[in-house]
Amino acid sequence: MKKILFISLLGLCYTNLFAQTDSTIVRIDTSGAKKDSLKKVSIEKVNTKKRKAEKDTIDVSYAEEFRREQVRFTWGLRGGINLSQMALNNINPVRVQANGLPQLNSSGRVIRDEFLTNSQSSLSYVGGLFLRMTRGSFYFQPEALYSVKAGKFDILQSDGKLASRVETSVSAVDVPLLFGIRFRQGRIFAGPVGSFAFQTNQKLVDALKNYTTEDAKTGFLLRPILNVHAGLGFEFEHVVIDIRYEFGLSNYSDYTLGISSSPANFAFRQNMLQLTVGLIR
C-alpha cells in the first residue's frame, strides 16, 4: 500500500512539473518590450490584411469585368511613330523626252534605268482617335488615323551606277477595324485597314518626271486600298500603349512609265512597324 501511495505522489509531482514548464513556454512576458515594437507588429498585421483585401478586390473586379454581358463603350486618342519600308515593283523604264520620244545616249541607244527597292526604313508619324466596344474579354475597335508612310528606292543607270536615291512619303487617312482579346492589362488584336492616300511628296514626283510626259500628281495614287494591322497592346489605368505591324496587301499606285511601246508599271506597297501611346476614358 505504501508503494502504491509513493508511486501516485511521484506521478503527481511529474505532472505538476510539466504543467509549469508548458505554461512558461506559452506565456510571453511583454512587460519589457518597447511600445514601438508592439505597435510595429500590429501595423504590419493590419497592412498585410489590407493588401490581401485589395488583391481580392482586384481579382473580383477583373473577374466581373471579363464576365460582363453588357457592351461597354470607351474612346481615346493615340499618337506615335511609323517605321516603314517601301516595297517597289522592280522595273526598267525608258527615259522620255518632253515630246514623248525616248532619250538616247551618245551611242544612239535608248536609255533605260532600273528602279530597285531599298530595304532601309524611314521614320514618320501617326495620330488619331478610336472608339472601343467591349463585351467580356473581347472588343471591337474602329479607328480614324492620319498616317504618313515613308520609304526609299534607288534608281540605277544602265552601267550600274546609282543615279539617285529617292525618299518617298505618302499621306493617308487610315481606318483600321480591329478585333481583339483582352487579358488583364494586355491585349492582342488584328483587323483590316482601309487606307485613303491623298498626297505624296515632291521628291517622288520629281523623280518620275524623266519617265513620263504626264503630271505625276494627277491620278498617281490609288484610293482606297486595303492593308492589315496586327499587334499587341498594354493598358495602365488610362494610358494605352500599342505595338503593331501593317502588312501592305495593296499597291498605293498604278502608274505607267516609259514609252507606249515599252511601258513599265510603277507600283509600290508599304510595310510598317508602328508604336503609339495614348489615353482612354
CA distance 135 to 153: 45
> What confidence score (pLDDT) does residue 14 get?
45
Residue ranges of domains in the chain, CATH in brackets: 68-280 (2.40.160.20)
pLDDT digits (tens, 9 = 90+) for 71-112: 899 999 999 999 999 999 889 999 998 888 888 887 888 999
Q: What is the pLDDT of residues 57-78, one digit of tens each?
A: 444 455 565 566 688 999 999 9
pLDDT of residue 48: 59
3-state secondary structure of 12: helix
pLDDT at position 70: 84
C-alpha grid cell for residue 59? 481579382
Give the phi and the psi of residue 157 in degrees, each rounded to 5: -75, 170
Local structure of 203: helix, strand or coil: helix
- Confidence band, pLDDT 50/70/90 cuts, at residue 228: very high
What pLDDT digit, counting tens, does each position of 16-45 carry? Answer: 444 444 444 444 454 554 555 545 545 555
Average pLDDT, stretch 166-187?
94
What is the secondary structure of 32-84 as a DSSP string? TS-HHHHHHHHHHHHHHHHHHHHHHHHHHHHHHHHT--S-EEEEEEEEEEEEE
Q: What pLDDT, in 10s, does the model give residues 196-220?
A: 999 899 899 889 988 988 877 666 7
Residue 193 has pLDDT above 90, yes or no: yes
Mean pLDDT of the chain: 82
